[in-house]
Chain A
C-alpha cells in the first residue's frame, strides 16, 4: 500500500468519526432538558477534540496504525457480509429464524468452501453438516433455553 493510498484510506474513517462526533456534540448541546445531557456534553466535547486530532493526523499522513482495507479483501468479504445483511433485514422474519439460519449457514459455508460447487457429494456433505449444526442450535436455544424466535413462512 502506497503512502498516498494509506493517507486517503485513513482519512475516510477519520472524517466519518469526526462527523459522528460533530453530530453527538450538536445533539448534546441543543437538546432539552439540558440536565439530561450534562454527561453527554462532557464526553462529546472530549470525543470531538480527539476526532479533530485524529483527522488532522490522518490528513497529514501521520495516522499509520492499522493495515487498512485492500480492494481484494473487500471483494472477498462482500458476498458474506451481503448474505448476513439480507438474512438480518429480510429473510429471518420472512422465512422464520431457524429456516433462514439454516439457509444462511449453507450459503456461507458454500461461498467460502474451497471444495467444488459442481459435485453432488460435496453439496450433500454441506447440507448434512448444516442440518446437524442447526439441530444442535435448536436443542440449545429452543429446548434448553426456551427462546421463542420469529416464525415466518416456516419456523
Chain B
C-alpha cells in the first residue's frame, strides 16, 4: 500500500529533477509563454498545449511533460489578464473573472485586480497540485487491480462521461464520442493486420493523435477568426498603474472566504472528468456571491469575485490530472491533449507510470507545483506585456495559428498526408461544432479507442478460455460498478440535456461569450 510517508519520500526524491538546467528553463519558458498565450483571446489552453506537442518530440519525456504542464497551468491563469484589462476572457475558464476584474481595472485598480488574481490563482493552483500529489499514487495503486474488462469499461466510461457532460445534447455528445472511437480504428488492425476504413492513402497509418488534436482544436479557432470578417476590433486596454505587491498580499488575507470557496469548488470540479474550468470559475463566483454579505457589489468591481473565480479555475488544474494519471480518463479537454502527449512518448498512465517511470511522473507533478509559484511572480510581471499581445488583430492571429498548425502537423511524421488529415478534420469539426457536436468527446474517443479495443480483444480471448464473455465482462463488483457509472452518466445526461438545451437564436449571454472565447 502507498502511505503518506511513501508519497512524501517519492516527492522529495524527485524534487531536484525540476531544477536541472534544461527542465527548469523549459518550465520557465512554458510558464512565461503560457501566460502570454493565455492572455490572447482565441487561443484556448487546449489549443496552446496541442500546438506545443510537436515541440516536445525532441525532448525527453519528462522535459516534454514539464513544458506541456507549465503551459497548461499558466494559460489558464494568463487568461485573466485580458479578462481584467480588456474584458475579453483569454479562455472560457476566465469568464467569471471578467465580471468584476474589468470593473476594478476601469476604476483604476487594474494592478490590484491582477495581483489578487495571480495570487489567488497561485494558492488555488498549489492546493490543487497538492491534491494531485497525495491522491494520484493511491488511486494508481488501486488501479493495479484492474484487468482487461475493467480497463475496457474505464475507457468507455471516459467517453460517455465527457460525451454526456461536455455537450448540451446527449445524443450529439455520445455520437461525437463514437465518431472519435471510429477514427481511432482507421488503419491497420494490430492483431490481424487487416486494413480497416482506409479510404485514402493518407489514412494508411491511421489517424495520428497529435495531428488530429491540432486539427480539431486549432483549425476551428482559425475559421472562427475568419468568420469575424474584415472588422477592426476597437479594443481599449485599461492602463495598469503601479501598486506594491505587499499591499495586495495583505489584502488577500482579508478575503479568506472567497479564496477557500474558490479553491474547494475548483478542486472538487477538477476531479470530475469532463467538467472544465469554466464551470469551476462560474460556480465558485456564484457560491461566493451567495455567501457574501455585500453580494450587491458583485459585478461592480468586487475583489472577492476575482479571487473566487481565479482560485477555482487554477485549483481545477491539478485535480483534473488525477483521473488522467491514474485511470487514463482526462478530467478536461486540455488533460486529454496531455494524455496524447504522454502516449506519444510511449508512456501509459496508471500504475505503469508510477511503477516504471516514477522519475517522469514525479518530476512532472513537482514541476506543476513549482510552476504555480513561478506563475504568480511572472504573471504579475508579464501582465502588462501580455495585454499588448492580446490586442494583436485577429487577421494576424488566424494566419499565424494556421501556419503553426500546418508546420506542427507536418513535423509529427514529416508527412503531407498528416497535413491533409488535419485540415479535413479541422474543417469538419468546425461544421460539427456549429450543429452542437463537441470536440472533447471526439478527442477522448480517438485517444481511448485503442485502449478500449486492445482490452476488449484481450478480454474476449480470456473470456473464451474461461467463463465466457457475459461472466467476464458483466459480472464482478468492479465491472458492475463501472457499468453502473457508464449507465448513470448516460441517464443523467439524457434527463438533463433537454432542460439545458438552448434554443437556436435564444442562447444566453453567458453561452455566447463562452463560444466567442473558445
Contacts and interface: CB of A to CB of B under 8 A. Distances in A.
Interface of A: 1, 6, 9-10, 13-14, 17, 21, 24, 27, 31-33, 35-40, 42-44, 46-47, 50-51, 53-54, 57, 63-69, 73, 76-77, 79-81, 84-85, 87-89, 92-93, 97, 101, 104-105, 108-114, 129-130, 133-134, 137, 140-141, 144-150
Given A105-B403, A112-B230, A13 B194 contact: no
Interface string B152-196: 000000000000000111011011001101100100010111101
A114 B231 contact: yes
A73 B212 CA distance: 25
B481 interface: no
Nearest to B423: A88
Given A68-B435, A113-B230, A46 B178 contact: yes
Name which of B169, B406, B420, B507 has the most chain A CB atoms within 10 A of its CB: B406
A73 B168 contact: no
Contacts of A51: 175
Given A33-B192, A50-B174, A76-B229, 18 more contacts: A1-B505, A6-B504, A6-B505, A37-B196, A38-B460, A47-B175, A47-B182, A76-B226, A77-B226, A79-B226, A80-B398, A84-B402, A108-B395, A112-B228, A113-B230, A129-B396, A137-B407, A140-B55
A104 B496 CA distance: 45
Name which of A39, A88, A110, A134 has the most chain B CB atoms within 10 A of its CB: A39
B436 A104 contact: no
Given A27-B197, A40-B196, A67 B434 contact: yes
A65 B396 contact: no
B29 to A, nearest CB: 12
A57 to B, nearest CB: 7
How many B residues touch the partner, as a band? Answer: 35 or more
B433 interface: yes
B373 interface: no
B414 interface: yes
Contacts of B419: 88, 92
Nearest to B407: A141
Contact of A101 (B54, B222, B403, B503): B403
B452 A65 contact: no
Contacts of A149: 407, 410, 414
B232 interface: yes
Nearest to B452: A39
Contacts of A111: 230, 395
Nearest to A32: B194
Given A36-B196, A66-B435, A104 B226 contact: no
Contacts of B193: 36
A77 to B, nearest CB: 4
B11 interface: no
Contact of A145 (B58, B404, B504): B58
Contact of A64 (B185, B194, B396, B504): B504
Contacts of B231: 114
A50 B57 contact: no
Given A13-B435, A40-B196, A66-B437, A54 B172 contact: yes
Contact of B54 (A42, A63, A145): A145
A68 B504 contact: yes
A97 B175 CA distance: 36
A78 to B, nearest CB: 9
B456 interface: yes
B506 to A, nearest CB: 9
B427 interface: yes
Contacts of A147: 407, 410-411, 414
